[in-house]
Structure 1
């Protein structure tokens, strides 16, 4: 029998409204307007086999139509039992840790996944080869010469291993959850390094989802692009990044935020931004995220 998954109660109550009005006003039979408060408690756990489809779904919304073996990437994330977490709703199903039956886990959807995948020690694995090639290819087309040179050199430098940070969740999950999850990941990486496991990264790579206001013909260009980050905390990572580049994925998705835009709204175009930071800055980045989400 496998060891029970570690758990971390996140205890966040999500509000879908900016108003503090008494919820008793929401009488039975009233039409749902999207302004009602929804209180949800989450918990972080080690990924298990029962999380396979949920994790793969989250990876698919990040990588879209990129030529990647997402099944294999999902297996890597689950196989790293001491690295990474999934976020599930607390109380959605009681897990009997003395039972190998995963039926209860199947009832609990995966709302988020956070992990780290070595692009160096696992370079012989097919999906890691694909990720390495994808980064070189995308940077060649979209990055500055400095960034392009760094990625090409770092990919081949065995003495400066690269770690890909997976930080993916559904869009309505609050950024406050990022702090304990990222802190936990940082601690896990440190413990793994102490055990001489191959997670002593030189740099960390983040692939972030963002959306920009489409420039329309005849529309005055704004001084600064309107940008919406799918994971707001990643704007902090962007500010502290050593290298970055972005590319449009408009042709790979059906619509900007996978929702219906009102006729008066500007069209939002989906992008991916690749951020690279020195690994020794990870804790500082997390601290800045913590400060930002508490404002």
Structure 2
């Protein structure tokens, strides 16, 4: 059980250590495990600007070029008691992960939110599964949408995610009690998925057989964040979309990471009604929390 977070910038209660893969050069039966103590902190503007901006760049991938990430990071840091950073070596270091929420209506006049909202509307129109999202974000809608942004370094374990979401619920409840603008009707999570694609290098070396052609592109969607697959089960709408900026086949080849296929990242959006969000977060905890010792 995660304790309710105090709403001033102090460190949270220690979480159980997460086990992270160490030297994986040996066999599957001989893998060293390293215990790492992760700590959860409130955002600290004078420390977390560059780390938050870097993680935002990773979250939006090639389309990060379309946004003023400095302005977005400043906006996130302007609400330090809502959202979390996860660190290893103390509060004055860069975060391994972050999670926050922004009120799209409250900040609608800010340039970076205008750009983000227009981007979301355009991308929702590219996937029928997301078609209703533009109506939620229209000026005449009665909906109040909270935009959840979450990202972590590739070597950060997924087990750090459940506490961040649980704390977010507590923080939103506390903010609403304090008459702050965090009473949402819907939550929108922007994230990333990917598809496996045949490497262009393989296609150059291999005969162009029928099998080669049929395997050029896969339809199965994979998740960078395992919790997104859980959130999707509770969603009003969810789907992936192509990035605006084209990174090209060469980049996909560079992301092969010792596997036969390259990967093609895509953006992802998940819309959850407020009444179902707490249940979705509970399901994340059940799915990802480390086993009891």
TM-score (norm 1): 0.79
- 2:48 paired with 1:57: no
For 1:228 and 1:258, the matched residues in 2 are separated by 18
1:139-150 correspondence runs (5 A): 139-140=124-125, 142-144=126-128, 147-150=130-133
Number of residue pairs the alignment of both structures matches: 262
Q: 1:4 to 1:192 in 2, by over 3 A?
A: closer
Distance 1:153 1:282 in 2: 17
Task: Spell out the pairing of 1:1-295 with structure 2 (5 A cutoff).
Answer: 4-16=9-21, 33=25, 35-49=31-45, 50-64=47-61, 65-66=63-64, 67-89=66-88, 92-93=89-90, 105=92, 108-140=93-125, 142-144=126-128, 147-157=130-140, 159-214=142-197, 218-219=211-212, 225-249=219-243, 251-252=246-247, 255=251, 259-262=255-258, 265-294=260-289
Contact 1:9/1:42 (CA < 8 Å) preserved in 2?
yes
In structure 2, do the counterparts of structure 1 residues 208 and 257 end up closer, same or farther at CA, with 3 Å as the change threshold? farther
- Using the TM superposition, give the Cα deviation of residue 157 of structure 1 relative to its aligned residue in structure 2, in angstroms: 3.9
Q: Which runs of 5+ in 2 are unaligned?
A: 1-7, 200-209
CA distance in 2, matches of 1:257, 1:51: 32
- 3-state SS, counterpart of residue 7 of structure 1: coil
- Indicate conservation of the 8 Å contact 1:120/1:155, yes or no: no
- In structure 1, what is the Cα distance between the partners aligned to 2:260 and 2:288? 27
Over 3 Å counting, the alpha-carbon distance change for 1:133 and 1:257 in structure 2 is farther
TM-score, normalized by length of structure 2? Answer: 0.80
Q: Which has the higher contact order (CA 8 A, sep 6+)?
A: 2
Give, in whole Å, the separation in 2 of the partners of 1:279 and 1:187.
14
CA distance in 2, matches of 1:232, 1:257: 23
> Is the 8 Å Cα contact of residues 132 and 155 (structure 1) preserved in structure 2?
no
Q: Is the 8 A contact 2:190 2:270 kept in 1?
A: yes
> How far off its partner does 1:4 sit?
4.3
Shift in Å, 1:272: 1.3
